[in-house]
Each structure stands twice: as C-alpha cells, then as structure tokens.
Amino acid sequence: MRKISVIGVGYVGLVTAACFSDLGNTVIALDIDESRISGLKRGEMPIYEPGLEELVQRNMQAGRLSFTTSYKESLKDCEFIFICVGTPSGVDGEADLKYVESAARSIAESMHAPIIVINKSTVPVGTGDWVADLIRDAQPKPIDFQVVSCPEFLREGVAIADFMSPHRTVLGSTSLEAADKVAQLHLPLRSPIVITDLRTAEMIKYASNAFLATKISFINEIADICESLGADVKEVAAGMGFDPRIGKQFLDAGLGYGGSCFPKDVKALVYMAEEMGHEARILNSVMQVNGERRNILIERLRQLLGDLKGRRVGLLGLAFKANTDDMRDAPSIDIAEELLAAGAKVHAFDPVAMENAKKLLPKVEMAKDAYELAKGTDALLVVTEWNEFKNLDLERIRDSMQQPIILDGRNIYQPEQMNSLGFTYFGVGRGYNGQRKTKTEIKVRPNAA
C-alpha cells in the first residue's frame, strides 16, 4: 500500500484518485477550490462520470480516499504526487500552464521529504524539465525529487474503464529509477508500459490526440463527399473499419470533435510546431474542417424553413458527447448561439448537462424531457448521441411537433425508418437519406486515345 497525493479533482484528477484508492492505495486528493472539496467530503460529485460517485463513496468509507485543500496535509508521508490540473488554451492556442506552475511552486514550498512528482496533465513538450526547475528554485531547502511524465488517456464517459484497463501506460523521465517506481505503481493494471524520456512521453500524448482528431475530421470530409454522391457514410465507415490498419473507432461522422482535449491539444501542437518554424499543414486543415461542422445543421434548416426568425427549434442533447455533463467546446453552444442570432426560439433537453448549460446558454429554455421538448417545435436537432434518444417513441415525437423535421447531427436514426414514419429527416453524409434513387448517372470521361 502506497501513499499517493493527487492535485486537482476535475475529470482526470478525481478519476485518478478514486481508481488508485480502489487498487488499495491511500490517496489524498487536493484542490484549492474549497467548495469542491467540501462537497466531495459530503459525497457530492463536482462532475458527472458513470460509476464515479459509487467508486468515490466506497473508498471514502473504506478510509483509503480523502480530500483536502492543504498542501502540507496532502504531502505528509507522500511517495507520489500527481499533477492533474487544467491546461486551457491561451490566446494564441498555446497551453496555459498557470495552474501547473502554481501546483509546482506549492509542492516545492510544502515538501519535507524526497518525492516523485508525476505530470498527468496534458502539457507542452518540455514542461517536465520546466517543472523540475521550478520546484528546485522554489524549495526553501534542497530536498531530492524526480519528475515523471505520465500522460492520461481517459475518455469522458468511460474514464473508469479506461483507467482500470488502459491500452498502455506511458512514462517519461530523466531518472530510470523514478520511472520504474511509477511503473510498479501501475503494475496492477496489467497494461503495456512504455518507458522513455520526458519530452517523448509528452509528445506521445499530443500526437495521439492529434491523430484521433484527424480521423474525425477525415470522416467528416468523407461525409460531405458522400452527401454529394449519394453514398451513406455510416456504411462507408463500417466498411473501412474492418481493416485493422484503420480501425472502427473515431469514424463517426457528425458535428465534429469538442470537449476539453482534442480542440486545445491540436491547437497547442500547432502552436508548438509554429514556434519551432514548422507549418502544421495537416493539423491546420483538421481544425478548419472541424470548425465548419457546426453550421451544417443550421444551413440545412435554412434550406427547409427559410427565415428562422420566430421558429421554435429543439436541441436533443447539449453535452459535447454522451455520458458526460461536460460543456467545454460543445457543438451545442455554437449551434444555439447561431439559432438565437437568427431569431429562433431555442429549447433544449440533455439528461445530465442542463445545469452546466444554463450558465453558458441563459437564453435557451430547458425542457424536462425529450417529449416536452418536441411539443410545437418546427424542427428537432440531434446534437448529442445519448442512448435514451435512440429509443424514443418517435410516433409520439412526430405527433407533438409543429412540423415533423429531424436533423440528425449524430446519425443515431435510420433514414428509411424515419421517412416511413413521416418525418422530414436528414442525417450527416447519408447521401440517400432513406430515399433510394432509381437511377444513378455516371459521367464517363472520353478515352484520350
């Protein structure tokens, strides 16, 4: 049993703390937000993540997990301390490291024995060296420590499963001994462990997220081509995904990526490249394609309804993805603001994200469920792929709408079924949209010979 401290109780920090305690370690999680820590001590979760509340409460009751706002308390007899604070985008796309800096200085001022500092936050290449210098310079008296990079690869909505059954654990350090100790900490997870240097470990995280973002933008571009040519991107993606060189994941066409990771990480990697004099041409295109995705439903709506002023539009879903209440860079924000600017009356329903959404979209009226949302609407826009939306009573939805129009930004419905039910239905990249063409015109270029 080891004593571990975790700084930050957001999505990464709280999951990290809860999971390490569930593995039998003694974990104390720290945050400078007193209200968050007070709430956690009462068993109140600051975020929504399936299974997290039960995991936290079980380990608190077992005495393995506790919470504090005090660095001195957190560092007492501590062997490992994880930095899990936010690194939001700066003005030019660079990662803002003010929270990492604050954590490093506080560690330096409060440590009283040798310790291993582990960067789990997504940080620019070179941050590990910078953190080491910060701690060394801020120490009241010299105490030995080592810095290890251990980037997180947790997906919101399945973060506990990702932590407990990771595809790999990446560790980087200038000290092989420190990296080995952190590797021993992760051995119960039985995942492949990659040990490398600090900067390479930091780069692995950025390269991984940038590649996944590229897959999303790629399939969205294919969706646009499918739409023009009469092909179905869902079937195209399924056919592609059977190839093990491509894989099935992240080939869902729709409204593009959002959340706390992909947008800021791609921007940060582009910024780092440009700082070194490199033009990140592919990644710039990835961001451009993604930025254009959020207008597709509104443009389609204008084609169907014309002027949107006074139109009642319902948004099915608000969170950037299902199984989370995270509204960071959620497509729903841009869509709602564009609709409001056009004079539409915007209503919305999300199973868990409405409280967070109210702070960002005060002019959007929230409904108690999908059926209340549908009443009197001129159109429904599927924005988040919640499972409960897939099994709605669609006939009831249709009968309560002013006009049975559904624009499906996540392709959760089958076009032919929706058309047979009497909906005017459009998905993303569903070239036929349920209406099979009887004739396909193929233009043949004359033989040059």
Question: Is 261 annotated as catalytic?
Answer: yes
Rounded CA-CA distance 113/264 in Å is: 35
> What does residue 351 show for φ and ψ, rounded to 5 degrees?
-60, -35
- Please give the single-letter amino acid code of residue 58: R
CB 296 within 8 A of CB 255: yes
Q: Which of these is catalytic: 84, 150, 226, 261?
A: 261
Instruction: Count other C-beta atoms under 10 Å from residue 341's C-beta.
Output: 9
Q: Which residues contact 281 (CB under 8 A, 6 or more apart)?
A: none
What's the per-residue H, E or C state across the chain?
CCEEEEECCCHHHHHHHHHHHHCCCEEEEECCCHHHHHHHHCCCCCCCCCCHHHHHHHHHHCCCEEEECCHHHHHCCCCEEEECCCCCECCCCCECCHHHHHHHHHHHHHCCCCEEEEECCCCCCCHHHHHHHHHHHHCCCCCCEEEEECCCCCCCCCHHHHHHCCCCEEEEECCHHHHHHHHHHHHHHCCCEEEECHHHHHHHHHHHHHHHHHHHHHHHHHHHHHHHHCCEHHHHHHHHHCCCCCCCCCCCCCCCCCCCCHHHHHHHHHHHHHHCCCCCHHHHHHHHHHHHHHHHHHHHHHHHHCCCCCCEEEEECCCCCCCCCCCCCCHHHHHHHHHHHCCCEEEEECCCCHHHHHHHCCCCEECCCHHHHHCCCCEEEECCCCHHHHCCCHHHHHHHCCCCEEEECCCCCCHHHHHHCCCEEECCCECCCCCCCCCCCCCCCCCCC
Rounded CA-CA distance 211/12 in Å is: 21
Burial 54-78 (b: 16+ CB within 10 A, else e): ebbeebbeeebbbbbeebeebbeeb
Catalytic residue positions? Answer: 261
